[in-house]
């Protein structure tokens, strides 16, 4: 499934900066911690929200909002 991981505002569930786009069947859940090893200094984020979008043609996409730690 197409997954976009967005940096979130710490006080509101609002997308700010796109961190990654990937294809994954992993079930992202609130509280999961992700590590981006390709970022300078190894970026660590915690998932705050997962939004699933079902399109008219049956395609499924999701947005993951994450807080930088």
Model pLDDT for residues 7-31, shown as the tens digit of each residue:
998 888 889 999 999 999 999 999 9
Place 37 in a pLDDT band, splitting at 50, 70 and 90: confident
Tell me what the pLDDT averaged over the chain comes to. 92
- For residue 45, the tally of other CB atoms under 10 A from its CB is 23
Residue 52 burial (CB count, 10 A): 10
Residues in the chain: 69
pTM summary value? 0.86
Give the pLDDT mean for 29-43: 87
Q: State residue 41's pLDDT score.
A: 78
């Amino acid at each position: 499934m197409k997954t976009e991981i967005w940096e979130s505002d710490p006080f509101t569930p609002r997308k700010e900066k796109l961190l990654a786009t990937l294809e994954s069947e992993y079930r992202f859940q609130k509280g999961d911690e992700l590590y981006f090893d390709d970022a300078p200094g190894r970026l660590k984020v915690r998932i705050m929200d997962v939004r699933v979008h079902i399109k008219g043609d049956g395609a499924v996409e999701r947005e993951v909002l994450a807080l930088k730690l």
